[in-house]
Amino acid sequence: MRPLFAIAFITLLLTTPASAVEMRSNELLLVLPEGGPFELAPDRTFQSLDADLAGILVRHGLDTYEFMAQKSGALTPRDRRFVRVFTDLDTFDAGTARDELAATGLFDAVALPFTLSTFVLPNDSMLSSQWHVTSSSAGISLPSAWNEEKGSASTVIAILDTGVDVGHPDLSGNMWNNSGEIANNGVDDDGNGWVDDVWGWDAGDNDKDPSPVPYYEGGVDVGFHGTHCAGIASATTNNSTGIAGAGWRCSIMGVKMVQTDVGMTDVAITNAFLYCAETKPDVISMSFGGPDQGGMAAFMQQLINTATAEGIVCVAAAGNNGDNARMYPAACSGVISVGATNESNQRASFSSYGNWVDIAAPGEHIWSTIQSNYSWDFLTGILFMLMYGWDGLNPYMYCDGTSMACPLVAGVCGLVKSAAPGMTSDEMAAHLKDTGDVVNYDQNIGKRVNAYNAVTNLSTGAPMVAATTFRVDGGAPNPFASQTSVRFTLDAPGDIRLGVFDVAGRFVRTLVDGPLTAGSHARTWDGTDATGRSASAGVYFARLEFGGRQESTRLVLLR
């Protein structure tokens, strides 16, 4: 039996939404409309184009600025909209200045600086399986859905969180790979403004590695949080290892937003959205948030607008307050807000609720992946053994929260987007509501998502766009020592390219480059590169490109 003091201890540490917003006293955050209201000089000074605005700025000593975008390349007009302005006045009243600037109507948003927190709660009991997958009464019909749609590697789910362990044995096969970037060469090969972003981006430390690092909330390391969410969304499935992810074949993009000693800041969150707007994943999963303070909700709304303008489906955890207080970004327009249920088919007691919550999904006692790239401190490890069912060795454990329900819905969205890639975030929200299960919960958390209905009833929401016209069935044998046959199916004739790439995204060998008929095909790779030299033992990817889309399968070469 777990000691009750441990339960109370963890609960106290990880459920502090009221402190989610952290004030910094000498700056404000602005979202500028196109064309104004400043002339921004290279020396970080600016000149107001409006006399009344100029008076407010002078009165509060706001005379310098800094773009929030931290990319290495040239800033786009979209990047230049998100600005921090600074003052050196000791008497600066940030709240008054924010209100006066907002009242001018010259900005799309004016906000006080903020940090946000992850939504994670302690575990209450141990379970031996993924009930959200297997339960016929409280689950979301994933096995039936997978019979119809297993997703596509070209459908990308971005996990905006504490980082994703890109080398995790149950995630590495489904990690998004930026084929336009050459790993570790210090060059922005694809010209997107982020150097060496092969697996995603670390917006917290502004570097190429989205892997998690120790991140403490109230004294306990919750750096596992993003990896746990990634596994729920789309752990590598049907690989005889670990767990099944809702998205099955969908790819995971890691976008880390925390710094070890700072947390999840407004700058990191802004850059995470700017990165996604540039790379255009199909879905973003956001298991974090906080209450609106100091204009944060309006600022977050502008970030959401930036993503949805690129056709990205935005999914967010509703929060763990157990009340109807709106949490952001979940309550933003254009976001699919997700509440949590339990194995008894009830609203999880911690789940936030209200008419702003769009859909419900399992979020209590959810077994998923945790980081394998670093070890916990002794106290954290002991607590997670007692509370979350970690066995002290394997990188999996239970966790509770709307944080877990959110990536589950994101994974379902990945399945739907694989079949209907043109569906917008608003259309997806309407579609999930239309196809969800009616359950009489004690509070309003929407219908329970039904994955099977979502992938088989695409007459609602957006019109169905033709599903991917090809399928990669894998390699056989795999692993292999001398040669493997890569099998794939085309639903229509056309020009295709089938190539082999290493785990860093570097080209190894072309297997097909030209026209093929519809039907089943296979091509052999003998483990050599384009020059005929034997490739080293390791993990490779066979990538099929057809009709502007691509899908990959993992190959393991033994020597």
Helices (H) and strands (E) in the chain, counts: 12, 28
Active-site pick, 161, 170, 292, 358 = 161
- Cα 344 to Cα 20, 340, 364, 441, 553: the distances in Å are 30, 12, 10, 11, 37
Ordered DSSP codes for 248-310: TT-EEEEEE--BTTTBEEHHHHHHHHHHHHHH--SEEEE-EEB---TTHHHHHHHHHHHHHTT
Active-site pick, 168, 225, 228, 521 = 225
Rounded distance between C-alpha atoms, residue 412 and residue 142, angstroms: 8
Would you give the DSSP letter of residue 241?
S
Average pLDDT over residues 188-206: 93
The vertex-528 CA angle with 550 and 535, nearest 5°, equals: 95
Judge whether 225 counts as a catalytic residue: yes
- Dihedral pair phi/psi, residue 485, rounded to 5°: -105, 115
Rounded distance between C-alpha atoms, residue 489 and residue 519, angstroms: 5
Residue 184, Ramachandran bin (φ over 0: left; ψ between -120 and 50: alpha; else beta): left
Rounded distance between C-alpha atoms, residue 289 and residue 166, angstroms: 24
User: What six digits make up the tokens of 232?
Assistant: 């729920």
Rounded distance between C-alpha atoms, residue 218 and residue 209, angstroms: 25
**With bands split at pLDDT 50, 70 and 90, how would you rate the model's confidence at 504?**
low
Contacts of 54 (CB under 8 A, 6+ apart): 47, 48
Judge whether 161 counts as a catalytic residue: yes
- Cα 87 to Cα 49, 57, 138, 410: the distances in Å are 19, 9, 54, 41
Q: Give the least confident one: 12-21, 56-65, 245-254.
A: 12-21
Q: How many CB atoms lie within 10 A of CB 4?
A: 8
Judge whether 552 counts as a catalytic residue: no
Active-site pick, 179, 403, 425, 552 = 403
Average pLDDT over residues 528-547: 85
pLDDT at 485 over 90: yes
- pLDDT value, residue 14: 33
pLDDT at 72 over 90: no
N-terminal to C-terminal alpha carbon distance within the chain: 48
**With bands split at pLDDT 50, 70 and 90, how would you rate the model's confidence at 460?**
very low
Cis peptide before 17 (omega within 30 of 0): no
Task: Please compute, for residue 356, the number of CA atoms within 13 A of its CA located in the half-sphere on the CB side.
Answer: 19
- pLDDT value, residue 453: 93
The single-letter code of the amino acid at 512 is V
Q: Give the least confident one: 179-188, 295-304, 492-501.
A: 492-501
Rounded distance between C-alpha atoms, residue 229 and residue 153, angstroms: 18
The answer to whether the beta carbons of residues 447 and 439 sit under 8 Å apart is yes
Contacts of 11 (CB under 8 A, 6+ apart): 121, 122
- pLDDT value, residue 46: 83
Q: Which of 56, 63, 61 is nearest to 41 (CA)?
A: 63
The answer to whether the beta carbons of residues 117 and 290 sit under 8 Å apart is yes
- Per residue in 352-370, pLDDT (tens digit) is 999 999 999 999 999 999 9
pLDDT at 16 over 50: no
**With bands split at pLDDT 50, 70 and 90, how would you rate the model's confidence at 462?**
very low
The answer to whether the beta carbons of residues 254 and 432 sit under 8 Å apart is no
For residue 429, the SS3 value is: helix
Would you give the DSSP letter of residue 218?
T
